[in-house]
Protein backbone atom coordinates (compact mmCIF):
# COMPACT_ATOMS: atom_id res chain seq x y z
CA UNK A 1 0.00 0.00 0.00
CA UNK A 2 1.31 3.41 -0.94
CA UNK A 3 0.51 6.74 0.70
CA UNK A 4 -0.91 9.67 -1.29
CA UNK A 5 -0.92 13.02 0.48
CA UNK A 6 -3.33 15.73 -0.69
CA UNK A 7 -1.97 19.08 0.46
CA UNK A 8 -4.74 20.77 2.45
CA UNK A 9 -3.92 24.42 3.11
CA UNK A 10 -7.50 25.67 3.11
CA UNK A 11 -7.61 26.74 -0.57
CA UNK A 12 -8.99 23.91 -2.66
CA UNK A 13 -11.85 21.52 -3.25
CA UNK A 14 -9.84 18.88 -1.46
CA UNK A 15 -12.71 16.61 -0.46
CA UNK A 16 -13.72 15.96 -4.06
CA UNK A 17 -10.07 15.29 -4.96
CA UNK A 18 -9.79 12.88 -2.04
CA UNK A 19 -13.00 11.11 -3.00
CA UNK A 20 -11.90 10.68 -6.63
CA UNK A 21 -8.46 9.38 -5.64
CA UNK A 22 -9.92 6.99 -3.08
CA UNK A 23 -12.21 5.68 -5.81
CA UNK A 24 -9.34 4.88 -8.19
CA UNK A 25 -6.93 3.73 -5.44
CA UNK A 26 -9.12 1.92 -2.86
CA UNK A 27 -6.20 -0.02 -1.41
CA UNK A 28 -3.93 2.99 -0.90
CA UNK A 29 -3.76 5.45 1.97
CA UNK A 30 -5.22 8.65 0.52
CA UNK A 31 -5.28 11.45 3.09
CA UNK A 32 -5.61 15.22 3.51
CA UNK A 33 -2.96 17.04 5.50
CA UNK A 34 -1.29 20.36 6.18
CA UNK A 35 1.51 18.66 8.14
CA UNK A 36 4.85 19.19 6.39
CA UNK A 37 6.35 15.99 7.80
CA UNK A 38 3.43 13.82 6.65
CA UNK A 39 3.64 15.39 3.20
CA UNK A 40 7.38 14.80 3.08
CA UNK A 41 6.95 11.16 4.11
CA UNK A 42 4.19 10.35 1.58
CA UNK A 43 4.92 8.34 -1.56
CA UNK A 44 2.93 10.65 -3.86
CA UNK A 45 1.79 14.24 -3.56
CA UNK A 46 -1.33 15.93 -4.94
CA UNK A 47 -1.30 19.73 -4.81
CA UNK A 48 -4.75 21.25 -5.49
CA UNK A 49 -5.89 24.85 -5.20
CA UNK A 50 -8.81 27.15 -5.90
CA UNK A 51 -9.38 30.87 -5.45
CA UNK A 52 -6.94 33.75 -5.74
CA UNK A 53 -3.23 33.05 -6.09
CA UNK A 54 -2.25 35.71 -3.55
CA UNK A 55 -4.41 34.12 -0.87
CA UNK A 56 -3.08 30.68 -1.76
CA UNK A 57 0.55 31.76 -1.40
CA UNK A 58 -0.29 33.43 1.90
CA UNK A 59 -1.97 30.24 3.14
CA UNK A 60 0.98 28.10 2.05
CA UNK A 61 3.39 30.35 3.90
CA UNK A 62 1.19 30.47 7.00
CA UNK A 63 1.15 26.67 7.07
CA UNK A 64 4.91 26.51 6.46
CA UNK A 65 4.43 24.37 3.36
CA UNK A 66 6.32 26.22 0.61
CA UNK A 67 9.64 24.45 1.20
CA UNK A 68 8.17 20.96 1.48
CA UNK A 69 6.18 21.50 -1.73
CA UNK A 70 9.39 22.48 -3.52
CA UNK A 71 11.31 19.46 -2.25
CA UNK A 72 8.51 17.00 -2.99
CA UNK A 73 8.04 18.42 -6.49
CA UNK A 74 11.70 17.61 -7.06
CA UNK A 75 11.77 14.15 -5.53
CA UNK A 76 8.55 12.13 -5.92
CA UNK A 77 5.47 11.73 -8.14
CA UNK A 78 3.70 15.08 -7.91
CA UNK A 79 0.36 16.18 -9.40
CA UNK A 80 -0.73 19.82 -9.41
CA UNK A 81 -4.38 20.72 -10.03
CA UNK A 82 -5.77 24.14 -11.07
CA UNK A 83 -4.00 26.71 -8.85
CA UNK A 84 -1.68 23.85 -7.95
CA UNK A 85 -0.37 24.33 -11.51
CA UNK A 86 -0.19 28.13 -11.40
CA UNK A 87 1.59 28.21 -8.04
CA UNK A 88 4.51 26.26 -9.53
CA UNK A 89 5.46 29.27 -11.69
CA UNK A 90 7.51 32.39 -10.95
CA UNK A 91 4.91 35.15 -10.97
CA UNK A 92 1.21 35.84 -11.55
CA UNK A 93 -0.57 38.98 -12.69
CA UNK A 94 -3.32 38.19 -10.19
CA UNK A 95 -3.85 40.37 -7.10
CA UNK A 96 -1.72 43.15 -8.58
CA UNK A 97 1.21 40.75 -8.94
CA UNK A 98 1.96 37.67 -6.86
CA UNK A 99 5.17 35.65 -6.68
CA UNK A 100 4.77 31.89 -6.97
CA UNK A 101 7.00 29.02 -5.89
CA UNK A 102 9.38 29.37 -8.88
CA UNK A 103 9.59 25.64 -9.48
CA UNK A 104 8.80 26.03 -13.19
CA UNK A 105 10.12 29.12 -15.04
CA UNK A 106 7.34 31.28 -16.46
CA UNK A 107 4.41 33.47 -15.55
CA UNK A 108 0.66 33.36 -15.02
CA UNK A 109 -1.36 35.87 -17.06
CA UNK A 110 -5.00 36.85 -17.45
CA UNK A 111 -7.10 36.14 -20.52
CA UNK A 112 -6.94 39.43 -22.40
CA UNK A 113 -9.65 39.21 -25.07
CA UNK A 114 -12.65 41.32 -24.09
CA UNK A 115 -15.13 39.10 -25.92
CA UNK A 116 -14.31 36.06 -23.78
CA UNK A 117 -16.43 35.21 -20.79
CA UNK A 118 -14.18 35.25 -17.74
CA UNK A 119 -13.72 33.07 -15.82
CA UNK A 120 -13.28 30.36 -18.42
CA UNK A 121 -15.70 27.78 -17.12
CA UNK A 122 -16.82 24.51 -18.63
CA UNK A 123 -15.72 21.62 -20.80
CA UNK A 124 -12.95 21.99 -23.38
CA UNK A 125 -10.85 19.62 -25.44
CA UNK A 126 -7.24 19.05 -24.44
CA UNK A 127 -4.61 18.59 -27.13
CA UNK A 128 -1.86 16.27 -25.96
CA UNK A 129 1.33 18.06 -27.03
CA UNK A 130 3.72 15.41 -25.77
CA UNK A 131 3.50 11.75 -24.89
CA UNK A 132 3.32 11.05 -21.18
CA UNK A 133 2.27 8.15 -18.93
CA UNK A 134 -0.53 10.30 -17.45
CA UNK A 135 -2.19 10.44 -20.88
CA UNK A 136 -2.39 6.62 -20.97
CA UNK A 137 -5.81 5.40 -22.19
CA UNK A 138 -6.98 9.01 -22.70
CA UNK A 139 -7.74 9.94 -26.29
CA UNK A 140 -6.21 13.06 -27.74
CA UNK A 141 -8.70 15.97 -27.70
CA UNK A 142 -10.67 14.47 -24.82
CA UNK A 143 -12.75 16.96 -22.84
CA UNK A 144 -11.94 18.15 -19.33
CA UNK A 145 -13.64 20.60 -16.98
CA UNK A 146 -12.02 23.96 -16.13
CA UNK A 147 -12.74 27.05 -14.02
CA UNK A 148 -10.12 29.81 -14.19
CA UNK A 149 -9.41 33.41 -15.22
CA UNK A 150 -5.63 33.10 -15.63
CA UNK A 151 -3.37 30.72 -17.53
CA UNK A 152 0.30 29.77 -17.44
CA UNK A 153 2.97 30.77 -19.95
CA UNK A 154 5.99 28.52 -19.54
CA UNK A 155 9.41 29.95 -20.38
CA UNK A 156 10.49 26.51 -21.63
CA UNK A 157 8.18 25.03 -24.27
CA UNK A 158 9.51 21.55 -23.57
CA UNK A 159 7.48 21.32 -20.34
CA UNK A 160 4.15 21.82 -22.16
CA UNK A 161 2.21 18.55 -22.15
CA UNK A 162 -1.24 19.77 -23.16
CA UNK A 163 -3.04 22.79 -24.59
CA UNK A 164 -6.62 24.03 -24.72
CA UNK A 165 -8.20 26.70 -26.92
CA UNK A 166 -10.27 29.47 -25.38
CA UNK A 167 -9.90 32.37 -27.77
CA UNK A 168 -6.21 31.45 -27.83
CA UNK A 169 -4.28 28.22 -27.46
CA UNK A 170 -2.97 28.12 -23.89
CA UNK A 171 -1.03 25.63 -21.80
CA UNK A 172 -3.32 23.47 -19.67
CA UNK A 173 -0.83 20.75 -18.68
CA UNK A 174 2.87 20.68 -17.94
CA UNK A 175 5.24 17.80 -17.32
CA UNK A 176 8.80 17.80 -16.05
CA UNK A 177 10.59 14.80 -14.57
CA UNK A 178 8.34 13.55 -11.73
CA UNK A 179 5.95 16.52 -11.95
CA UNK A 180 2.68 16.71 -13.86
CA UNK A 181 0.24 19.57 -13.37
CA UNK A 182 -3.02 20.54 -15.03
CA UNK A 183 -5.22 23.64 -15.19
CA UNK A 184 -8.39 21.57 -15.45
CA UNK A 185 -10.04 19.53 -12.70
CA UNK A 186 -9.61 15.77 -13.26
CA UNK A 187 -11.79 15.08 -10.20
CA UNK A 188 -14.68 16.83 -12.01
CA UNK A 189 -13.95 15.44 -15.48
CA UNK A 190 -15.78 12.12 -15.32
CA UNK A 191 -14.20 9.06 -16.99
CA UNK A 192 -11.12 10.73 -18.50
CA UNK A 193 -10.42 12.63 -15.31
CA UNK A 194 -10.56 9.43 -13.28
CA UNK A 195 -8.29 7.78 -15.85
CA UNK A 196 -5.72 10.55 -15.40
CA UNK A 197 -5.85 10.08 -11.62
CA UNK A 198 -5.48 6.31 -12.08
CA UNK A 199 -2.44 6.94 -14.27
CA UNK A 200 -0.95 9.16 -11.59
CA UNK A 201 -1.49 6.52 -8.89
CA UNK A 202 0.24 3.92 -11.11
CA UNK A 203 2.95 6.23 -12.50
CA UNK A 204 6.49 4.97 -12.12
CA UNK A 205 8.62 7.87 -13.28
- Give me the active site residues, please: 82, 185, 187
Q: Where are the beta strands (DSSP E) in 54-178?
A: 78-81, 89-92, 98-99, 104-110, 120-128, 142-148, 150-154, 160-166, 168-176
List Cβ neighbours of 37 (8 Å cut-off, separation of 6 or more).
none
Number of other CB atoms surrounding residue 36 within 10 Å: 18
Name the pairing type of β-strands 29-33 and 89-92: unpaired
Chain Cα centroid distance, residue 48: 6
Query: H-helix or E-strand containing 32?
Result: strand 29-33
Nearest to 181 by CA among 53, 80, 71: 80
Amino acid sequence: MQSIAIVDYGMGNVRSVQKALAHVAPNDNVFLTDDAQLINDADRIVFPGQGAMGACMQALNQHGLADVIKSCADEKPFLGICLGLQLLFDHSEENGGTDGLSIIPGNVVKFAKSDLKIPHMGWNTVKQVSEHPLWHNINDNSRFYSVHSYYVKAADASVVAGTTNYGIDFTCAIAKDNMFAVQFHPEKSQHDGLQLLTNFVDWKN
